[in-house]
Amino acid sequence: MESTQGDTRRIALDAMGGDLGSAEVVSALRLALDEFPDLCPVTILGDEAELGPLLDQAKLSAHPKVTLHHTAEVITMGDEVMTAIKRKRDSSMLKAIELVKEGAARAVVSTGNTKILVSAGTLKLRTLAGIERPALAPVIPREGGHFILIDAGANPEAKSMHLVHNAILGSHYARMELGIEKPRVGLLTIGTEEGKGNSLINDTHEHLKALGDLVHYVGPVEGFQVFFDHVDVIVCDGFTGNICLKSWESLSKFFRNELKAQMLSSPLRRLGGMMARGAFTGLRHRIQPERYGGAPLLGLRGTVLKAHGSANRYALMNALGDASEFIRVDRTSRIEADIDRANKILRPEPVDVSEL
């Protein structure tokens, strides 16, 4: 196993804490190395006694891009945030974040406790200049392509400026991930008419309009517009976004299961299903959450990718590929410049971010 010294273009992979266990994480690492020839080097963190044999079995123990970092503790889904951060400092999640903080890695990939990952990432890595809160930004399929949902759960009690920052972060991410030079940004609400929504939505709407060409804001969007070709970035608070994300995930699973049940309900439908197998396979791959890996926690001084707790090897493989792309395409300076410009437009007087 190689040393991490002198190699900061590295991914810190938290192998503990996921629902499917460390074996699934090691399998994902094997797949990622095969799928992405330019994958950045990976430090996998966890119990050496557990991970060592798994790495041997996957023929990764001597791989030039793989390093094992032993940690003695595991953060569970039931742990309290501050208790875990203070008492489980030798956990795979916190050590992965520490590697980024120390400059020994540039990105973290974890399936662990979301609250603790967001809190620890924010406390240890800090936000980019001018940004008040980080935001989770998953990629979700829609008619004719994909859109970025931001925030999907990092900041449930958002203020208007948080949503403005989300719009800027989401725009930059859409340029990188979706290849859209001028992404359309919409604000999720209950109606597209002026004044339709609560005070948070109305204030944010006015702020986004005031930004001019800094963000390509196309206005409010309603729920029934979300999965059609209306916008490329949907901005919302973390409470609303988390409900949207989990509703989409459950609906996609329901749809796949219901379609399978209907196709198997009679001999005639089975025959029809066999004839349309290619179309059904394409649809399944299009809507399954595993295809989109992890949701990045945007706005931090370092990349943190949160994969679902039940993420399988294919989802984690894609998360590792995304992390590697984040490392190669560093937009930090451009994001900070846009955030600074937005803050000056909306807040002419200097603001102490630490007091917010």
Amino acid 309: pLDDT: 83
Is residue 205 located within the same domain as residue 165?
yes
Question: Is 344 within the bounds of a domain?
Answer: no
CA 21 vs. chain centroid, Å, equals 20
The CATH number covering residue 208 comes to: 3.40.718.10
Query: How many domains does the chain contain in total?
Result: 2
Is residue 166 located within the same domain as residue 226?
yes
pLDDT of 4 higher than 60: no
Question: Is 279 within the bounds of a domain?
Answer: yes
Question: Is 227 within the bounds of a domain?
Answer: yes
Question: Is 354 within the bounds of a domain?
Answer: no
Range of the structural domain that residue 142 is part of? 132-296
Is residue 164 located within the same domain as residue 255?
yes
Is residue 140 located within the same domain as residue 32?
no
Question: Is 277 within the bounds of a domain?
Answer: yes
Is residue 199 located within the same domain as residue 328?
no
Question: Is 347 within the bounds of a domain?
Answer: no
pLDDT of 6 higher than 70: no
Q: What is the per-residue pLDDT across 56-78, written as a single tens digit (0 to 9) for each?
A: 999 999 999 999 999 999 999 88
Q: What is the per-residue pLDDT across 339-349, written as a single tens digit (0 to 9) for each?
A: 999 999 997 66
Is residue 198 located within the same domain as residue 285?
yes
Is residue 10 located within the same domain as residue 102?
yes
% residues pLDDT > 70 (the chain): 90
Q: What is the per-residue pLDDT across 104-153, written as a single tens digit (0 to 9) for each?
A: 999 999 999 999 999 999 999 999 999 989 999 999 988 888 999 999 99
* pTM metric for this prediction: 0.87
Is residue 145 located within the same domain as residue 233?
yes
Q: Bin 180: left if φ > 0, else alpha if -120 < ψ < 50, else beta.
A: beta
The residues near 303 (Cβ < 8 Å, ≥ 6 apart) are: 100, 106, 107, 108, 296, 323, 326, 327
Q: Under a CB-based contact definition with an 8 Å cutoff, are residues 122 and 114 in contact?
A: no
